[in-house]
Amino acid sequence: MPIPISFIDARGRKVHRPKRAPILWRISAYTMVLNRDKILTVIPTWNTLFELPGGEAHVKESIITAAERECYEETGFRVRIHNKLPIHYGEEWFYSWPKKTFYHSTFFVFMAKLIAKRQDLSVINTKDGNEIANVQWVDPRTCTKKNTHRIVYPAIQHVTRLIKRKTP
């Protein structure tokens, strides 16, 4: 027996799926970049919530490569993932209104390190149009359920606990 599914759009609103509308699979990869106890975040143009850089993995691309690529495209920072095990993963059902598509998404969050501290501003918003409104380094302890996207909030909480442990 199928489980009842609720689809959510980018703003967190429930969206009704017509019976005949297809559901596509989507694998997504996100990066958690920590630098001096701050994390790299993006705020998209469609909401004001902190999100981690990331997005859809292409069919002929590894999840690790996708996470590194998405981070660069969204922030202008080149990163490298050294541990291929995610720090957080999950799934969600979401609706993309630009594509008018319903997705069943599996997502992974990986810890990443900056390769270079120089940011390439010229790449932001060149691949997916006007997607990113702001890129900023934030103290993860300031991220709350109200100001952080629901799928990455648990990963940010995990990093916050790690920072608290190392702070005297």
Query: What CA–CA distance (Å, rounded) separates 50 from 43?
Result: 5
pLDDT at site 166: 67
Does residue 94 contact residue 149 with C-beta atoms inside 8 Å? no
Instruction: Scan for tokens 């952080």, then name that residue.
Output: 148
Q: Higher pLDDT residue, 168 or 67?
A: 67
pLDDT, tens digit (0-9, with 9 covering 90-100), for 92-115:
999 998 889 999 999 999 999 999
pLDDT at site 164: 72
pLDDT, tens digit (0-9, with 9 covering 90-100), for 16-67:
999 899 999 999 999 999 998 899 999 999 889 999 999 999 999 999 999 9
Query: What CA–CA distance (Å, rounded) separates 67 from 31?
Result: 6
Tell me the CATH number of domain 7-166, given options 3.40.50.880, 3.40.50.970, 3.90.79.10, 3.40.50.2000: 3.90.79.10
